[in-house]
Amino acid sequence: MKPEDTKHPEQTGKWLLLSYTASWNAFRSHTIVLQDDSMRDRINCLINSITDPFASEIRYHQKCWLKYVGAYQKMSVEQKLPLLHEVTLREAQTMFLDHARQVIFDDHEIRTIQGLLRDYKSIVGAYGLPILGVKSSYVKEMLMREFGAGIGFYVSPQKNQSEVVYDTSGSGSYIEAAISLLGISTEQLIQTVANKLRDEIRQTVKVPWPPQVSELEQEEDMSPLLVQLISLIKKTGQAKPDAKALALASMLAYYVTGSPTTTSINLSMNLHRLTRSKELVDTFHKTGVCIGYALVLLL
C-alpha cells in the first residue's frame, strides 16, 4: 500500500493517477455527495471491482477531480448532510472507515472494539441498511483489512473487557488518551506520582550526621524512580542517568526530607573552601542546593 504523503493524486498531463492512499480514500468517499446517479453508479461499480487500487492504476481527469473529489474534500459535515441520498452499503462502510481513521489515526483516541461496533451500527443503520447480527469480530476484520499493520488491538487481562483499538505508530499521545479514557485528570496524575516519589525518597538511606569523610566519598543512595524521572524529563528513553541528573536527584531529596545529602554537603564544603564566604554559602543554602554556613563549621 502506498504511503499517505498527499491528499492529491499524482498528475500525469490532464490525467491524475491515484497513487497515494489519501487520494484513493478521497475518491472512494466522494460518491456519497454525487447528484448524478448514473455517474455515481459507474464509479461505485468500479470501486467495488477493485482489490488493489494502486495495481489497477486508476486515472481521473484533472478537471473532474477538482469539480467532484476536490469539492467533496472541502465540504464540512453540515454541507454534506443535505446531499446524502440512497447511500449504499459500500458507501456507508466507507463513511465508518473514514470515521475510524479520524478518531484513531488523526485524533489518536483510544477506542474499544465494542465502541467502534456501536459507531458502525449508528453510521450504517442511519441509512436503513442492515446491521442486525453484525458482531465486533466483523468490525475488527474490516479494520484489519483496511489499515493492516497500522492498527493494533490490545487484549485486556480482565475478563469480559473489550479489546482496545489503537494506532501502532502512536506513542506519548496515547498515554494522554488512556488517562483521559480512565477519567484521570492531570492534577490527579501529578498527585499520584508525587505521593509515590515522596514515599520512595523518604525510604532511602540518609547520610548520618555528622558524616565521616569515608561516607561522603561513597556512592549516594538515591530514589531510582526520582533519578529515572529526571532523566526522562530531559530525554525520552534515556537509559543511563548522567552526573547532572544524579546531582539534581540528590538536591531534590534534600528539599523533600530536609536531611543533608552527600551532594548538598560536598557542595557546601567546596564552596566554603574556595570562597570562605558566609554570605555566599548561606545564599546557596536558601536556594536549597546546599547546607548552611553554621553546619559547615561543624564539619
Look at residue 167 in the predicted model and tell me its pLDDT: 81
Three-class secondary structure of residue 151 per DSSP: strand
127 and 175 fall within a common domain: yes
Look at residue 1 in the predicted model and tell me its pLDDT: 41
Look at residue 6 in the predicted model and tell me its pLDDT: 45
Amino acid at 225: L
Last residue of a domain, one of 155, 183, 211: 183
Backbone angles phi, psi at 198, to 5 degrees: -60, -45
145 and 176 fall within a common domain: yes
Q: Which CATH number goes with the domain that contains 103?
A: 1.10.10
Backbone angles phi, psi at 93, to 5 degrees: -65, -35
Give the count of domains, the chain: 3
16 and 80 fall within a common domain: yes
Work out the widest C-alpha separation in the chain, in whole angstroms: 96
46 and 101 fall within a common domain: no
167 and 198 fall within a common domain: no
155 and 199 fall within a common domain: no
pLDDT in tens, 51-72: 887 787 888 888 888 888 888 8
Q: Which residues of the chain have pLDDT under 50?
A: 1-7, 172
Look at residue 152 in the predicted model and tell me its pLDDT: 82
Look at residue 77 in the predicted model and tell me its pLDDT: 75
Find the domain containing 253 and state its range.
186-297
Last residue of a domain, one of 86, 120, 142: 86
In order of 204, 222, 250, the CA distances from 239 in angstroms are 21, 16, 19
Closest residue by Cα to residue 223 from 251, 194, 249, 247: 249
Three-class secondary structure of residue 183 per DSSP: coil
209 and 282 fall within a common domain: yes
118 and 108 fall within a common domain: yes
Q: In what order do the strands lie in the sheet with 164-167?
A: 111-112, 164-167, 151-154
177 and 269 fall within a common domain: no
156 and 223 fall within a common domain: no
Would you call 128 exposed, middle or buried from its count of C-beta atoms within 10 A (0-12, 13-18, 19+)?
Answer: exposed
271 and 202 fall within a common domain: yes
How do 151-154 and 111-112 pair as beta strands? unpaired
DSSP 220: P
Cα distance between residue 288 and residue 282, in whole Å = 10
Cα distance between residue 195 and residue 142, in whole Å = 44
Last residue of a domain, one of 156, 183, 210: 183
165 and 63 fall within a common domain: no
Cα distance between residue 198 and residue 112, in whole Å = 35
